Structure 1
Amino acid sequence: MTDIRNAEKGSIVGSLTVAPITRHTLALYCGASGDLNPIHVDIDFAKASGMTDVFAHGMLSMAYLGRLLTDLAPQTTLRSFTTRFTSITQLGAEITCTAKLAERFSEDGEDRARLELTAVDQNNDVKLLGEAVVALPN
């Protein structure tokens, strides 16, 4: 990973690739998050809803982006974190999250960096787009 303070605008400052999403992953996430929507774990319910199978929670991919962020900067330096869900994440998806330096700026007496965030699967299908602002150390 590249040091955000010394990175060029537009450069990738961090990435994270996670293991393929399995039914087990979804069951664990249901329990951890409290999101018990059956469309994520019950194939019969998913099919009755017009889907071919269960699919991942959108917030699971957002959690992967959050993990990337806290790998890049301490949680206490996070000033904002937003995402937009762009497509469904199927079983077997191998999600890769990246953070690109959009800009460095000063606000409220802090040096900060705005990061463009992306989560894509192994087919380069974009699952989430987002942005985060982190305070930079002195």
Structure 2
Amino acid sequence: MTLLGELQAGDSLDTVTLPAVTRLDLIKYAGASGDYNPIHTIDEEAKKAGLPGVIAHGMWTMGNLAKLFTPYYEEGFIQDYSIRFKGMVFVNDIISLHAVVDANREEEITFDVFAENQDGKSVIEGHVVFCKRLTEVATY
């Protein structure tokens, strides 16, 4: 695995592909987040709102983007995270997560991040600032 500090502008992190979105994923997320809007769990309610069926919580998709950085937790942490929702995520969608280095500075690395569905349609675009650990962390 490449260290983040070695990456240059234009380099990409390994793509993370999520398993197909399930209704159970959305029900669990509703419980964890407290967002019980029925457009995320009940088809009839989603259809009443003009949707073809239930849609994933936008924050569920945003939260999954952080999985791109999980392998690098020993090197630092996400300091800032901003996104724009670009499209809806539906049950059975397969979402791919991507991060491309924008700049690698002494104390931080900035990334352009995005998620797309199985058809290549963007569902989220954003920016992550990853703060590098500048000192060794003591291990006991």
RMSD: 1.8
Match of 1:119 among 102, 115, 120: 115
Higher strand share: 1
- Distance in 2 separating the partners of 1:89 and 1:13: 22
User: Who is 2:10 aligned against?
Assistant: 10
Instruction: Report how many residues are paired.
Output: 134
Match of 1:129 among 118, 121, 125: 125
Change (3 A) 1:8 1:80: same
What's the secondary structure of 2:69's corresponding residue?
Answer: helix
User: Who is 1:62 aligned against?
Assistant: 62
Identical positions, percent: 28
Unaligned runs of 5+ in 2: 135-140
CA deviations 1:62-86 (Å, max 9, x no partner) are 0111222333335963221111000
User: Who is 1:97 aligned against?
Assistant: 97
- Kindly state the Cα deviation for residue 35 of structure 1 after the two structures are TM-superposed: 0.8
What's the secondary structure of 1:14's corresponding residue?
Answer: coil
TM-score in terms of structure 2 length: 0.87
TM-score in terms of structure 1 length: 0.88
Change (3 A) 1:90 1:12: same
Unaligned runs of 5+ in 1: none
Q: Which moved more, 1:114-123 or 1:61-70?
A: 61-70
